[in-house]
Copies of this chain bind each other. A is one copy, B any other.
């Protein structure tokens, strides 16, 4: 079965299983992440108090750790939750928002990588290269890294970390270190709103909560956002801009189905 068809099946699994996705995430895009999880067909839990994160992981199908607005309190909760998810063999998805922007953030990212076994790590190329220990210039939380050599970097990182690396950019790269999927959907306007990365990670978490083929699940999550961005952008007219785009993005994810995926998805295995 080709990867596009696997993504379609992943979407059907989400609609059928309605996975409960536990998120320890930032306070900037948390509402968007919860609504995105609902839009695709999952059910969100947002809880970060250390005393209850293990309970939440226990009832959830997957765990998403996003270090956007990390602080000492939530880092402790992330580690506790991640360890519990590992123990219960539930998928854990990591979004290393802004890694490379400063030593504290780098230290926390490193610690999370040491203490938790991640199923999928989703970031832009600058973040993934930072995680890989490569020197890259970081301009805040937006990627400025040269994408040349991206596939090799992603494969090396995935192999080293024994996880799926999901690197979003002009071409998205999803790899377990052996197989590689490339996605050409998306639109630059996606970088014009905050939280596209976080929402993509939340979608990956939802797909991973619904099935066991995590390479397909991660690809399906990223494909969903790329498709939705592309389709939503095409609806804009006149004086519509990022406000309207953001709303249509939710509408499009909500209406996303097998037919649209098959017709518009530009994904391939290499």
A255 contact set on B, CB distance < 8 A: 239, 241
A34-49 Cβ-contact flags toward B at 8 Å (1 or 0): 1100110001111111
**Residue in A51, A72, A252 with the greatest tally of chain B CB atoms within 10 Å:** A51
Which residue in B46, B71, B104, B251 is a CB contact (below 8 Å) of A244?
A: B251
Docked-complex contact A139 and B239, CB < 8 angstroms: no
**Residue in A28, A98, A102, A243 with the greatest tally of chain B CB atoms within 10 Å:** A243
Which residue in B46, B139, B193 is a CB contact (below 8 Å) of A68?
A: B46
Size of the chain A interface, CB-CB below 8 angstroms: 64
A86 contact set on B, CB distance < 8 A: none
Between A and B, 28 residue pairs with Cβ closer than 8 Å are A31-B32, A31-B194, A34-B194, A35-B242, A35-B246, A44-B194, A46-B69, A47-B98, A48-B71, A49-B72, A49-B104, A51-B104, A52-B102, A52-B105, A55-B103, A59-B101, A59-B138, A59-B139, A235-B239, A239-B252, A241-B250, A241-B251, A241-B255, A242-B254, A244-B247, A246-B247, A246-B250, A247-B247
With the chains together, A71 CA to B73 CA distance in Å?
10
Interface residue A248 (Cβ < 8 Å from any Cβ of B): yes
